[in-house]
Structure formats: C-alpha cells, structure tokens
Amino acid sequence: MPENLADALASLRADLVDPDRLVRAVATGRRRGAAPPQDQRLELRPVDIKAGRRLLLTRWDGTQTRTEHVPYGEDAAAAVDAALGQAYGSWHVQTTGETVQLRVTKKGEAQVHRSPATRTQLTEHDRVGRTLLAPDDPLFTAIGAGADKRRQVEAFLRALDPVLDDVPGLPAAGRPLRVVDLGCGNAALTLATYAHLSRNRGWDVHVTGVDAKTQARAHNTEVARRLGWADAAEFVEGRIEDVPLGWPPDVVLALHACDTATDDALARAIGWRAPLVLAAPCCHHDVQRQLTAAGGAAAAPEPYGAIARHAILRERFADVLTDALRAAILRLSGYRVDVVEFVASRHTPRNVLIRAVRTGAAPTPAQVAEYTALTGQWRLRPALEVRLGGVPGAVG
C-alpha cells in the first residue's frame, strides 16, 4: 500500500543517522515533475577512519565522484536531512535489521518494501573499518570492470588494508601518501587504491600509475579526470625498470605484471627502499626456461628428477620456486615477507600475493646460504637477482 512520502522518509532518517544500524544507503533517480537532485547518485555508509567513525557521503553527478566524511551527531543529521530533502525517485537502504526499498510513485506517494537483513549485511556492518568499494561504485562503471575484476581488486585492497598499520610512519606527515602502481593497465587497482585510502582511511593520497602503453596513459588520465581525481591520480608512460618518478614512493603495487615485469617492479621497490610492497605475480616463464635449458629431469638435484621430468609438473614447480626465490631476495634486502592467497582461484589462477614490509634488517649468513644453496642446486639465476646485480648480502 502507498504511504505518505514525508512519513516514509522520516522513518528512513532514523536508520540513516544511526552508525550502529546503517550498513549502506543509495539514492538514485528523480521524482516526476520535480527539479532533479543535485547529484545523480548519492551513497551513505559508516566508515572508521583515523579520526573515528564517520558518515561517508559519496556523490556522483554523472561526471565525477565527490566524497565527504561527516562526524556523527549534528553534522551527520544535517547531511542526512539535506539528502532526504533532494527529489530522489528511490532509496535503497540496508541496515543490520532489514532492507528497505522506497520508490516514489507518479502521484508523489511512497511505495515501500521491507525484507529481513541478510547475513551479508550483518557481516558488512561488522567490518565497517575495512569497508571495500561497493560493486556499483561509479569507479567500476568508469573502468568497465566485470565481476571477476571487481573481486580481484577488492580482495587486493583487503590484503593491503591491514598491513598498512604495520608500517611505521604511514601516512607520512606533511605530504600525501605516495602510491605507485607498476604495470597499471586500465588502472583498476590504481584508482581503487586511491578511493579506498582517501574515503575509508581518510588519508591524503597521491597515486601514480605506470604503464608502457601510450593508450593506457591517455585512457587512465581521462578516467581520473571524469571521476574528479585528476589532482590526486597521475599516469606515466614508461618501462617499469627505468621510469623516473622524482620521488621515492611509500607503497609499491604490482598486480599481474607479466613474467619478469614483476621482477622489474620488485627491483624498483627495493631500490626505492619502499616501506610497503605488494605484488601479485603472473606468467612465471623465467625459471621455467632455465629449468628446461639446464636439461630438465637430468639436471635436477637428487631426488627431484621426478618433479622436473613432466612438463606440467615442471611448470607448476617453477611457479612456486620463482615466488619462493622472490620472497627470499626481499628478505635478504631488508623486508619482512609473507606470501598469501589473496583471492579464490575460481576468479583468477594467478592468486598469489607477495606482501613485504621494510624493516631494514641486514641479512644473516644463514639466510644468504639458504638462498645460494637453493639456486645453486637448481642451477638458477633468477631475474630479480640479475636486476639487483647479485645476491643481497652475499660476500665476494
């Protein structure tokens, strides 16, 4: 049954101003015969930032996205009242208790449908402090991200977020946090990282995407401009191994840089002494080629000939060995390293993430010996070792 619109909106207000109940609210469309709302889409949700819990307002005017963190209390109440005063044609409100769908009819009445909260809604509210980007965020529309890409990006951000608190001095005082994405492609990760850190963390952030393709730079620059992030997101054309930045980054990202491009990214990060590095490798051909060139099963150290004898097993073993050696080199270079699965394999088979926090610790002789013994037995010289000009910490 239709309801009085003013009464229906008033009932929504109590949920919208309650940080312990609201999960997410989205207002879209326009009412018939009314002036259009200021923005085409408005999203409200609670987030935890360094200053405390805030009401995050994300506005999309059809050209760019604007965000605002509003303290709960009088400021949040005023922002909610202003939003409800706009002539939106529909509201979709998720709370910990229910989902409310409100649609304004042609007669100016409210058609309201209510359903119980889902387990997903409860979970989303419980992890307010680690909120990822909504699937219908304008960013994903702007870059044309499908479901799998959205899941990869959100999973990557979920792996990034908690480790930020383990890095002393982030964000840096007096300047933006500097993030570089090496081999950025269509900039899904670059822009999503900016959105997450600026909105949900409330940090001053500057991101730079690096890619060898001219069209990538031009396309990504235009997307950032349309989203209203041109001052905070820049894109540079160049090779990972030698592109000049002019400043050392705080965070280095590399999502699926192919084959030795991951080694190029890790080598740059080590050279910059970047405090935090996250890399999801792809296409491990370098060690595979070396194993094959060395003679396959005949050259394998005993008793591992059975692994190297079959091509498919040799390929999979080379993947594991490549990332193990990359992690070892990062450790020798003064990083604390962990290797994790960051997204389910059904979304991408390349789901290993190398995550490294710089400690500055010098390598021990035992760590150097472990690395050199492993590479020596398999007759390998990994690309990352080559990029660095040798084994970090080795003597002679």
What residue ranges do the domains of the chain occupy?
5-126, 138-388
State pLDDT tens for residues 237-258.
999 999 999 899 999 999 877 7
Alpha helix positions (H), 230-357: 261-272, 285-293, 305-309, 311-332
3-state secondary structure of 153: helix
Helix, strand, or coil (residue 120): helix
Q: Which CATH class is domain 138-388?
A: alpha beta
In angstroms, the Cα distances linking 367 to 145, 208, 352, 354, 372 are 42, 34, 23, 18, 9
How far is 238 from 250, CA to CA, in rounded Å?
20
With a CB cutoff of 8 Å and minimum separation 6, the contacts of 391 are 329, 332, 368, 371, 372, 385
pLDDT tens for 296-336 read 666 778 888 888 788 888 888 889 999 999 999 999 999 99
Single-letter code of the amino acid located at 188:
A
Tokens of 18: 């309650």
Q: How do residues 130-162 score in pLDDT, each as one tens digit?
A: 456 888 788 988 888 888 888 888 888 988 988
Express each pLDDT in 19-73 by its tens digit.
Answer: 999 988 999 888 988 888 988 889 899 988 777 889 999 888 776 678 889 999 9
Distance, in Å, from the CA atom of 137 to the CA atom of 145, rounded to the nearest integer, reads: 10
Angle at 69 between CA 65 and CA 71, to 5 degrees: 155
Q: Tell me the whole-structure pTM to 2 decimals.
A: 0.73
pLDDT band at 165 (very low <50, low <70, confident <90, very high): confident
* pLDDT tens, residue by residue, 102-125: 999 989 999 998 888 765 555 555
Cα(30)–Cα(102) distance, integer angstroms: 13
Please count the helices (runs of H) and the strands (runs of E) in the chain: 13, 14
For residue 392, the Cα-to-chain-centroid distance in whole angstroms is: 30
Structure confidence at residue 130 (pLDDT): 46
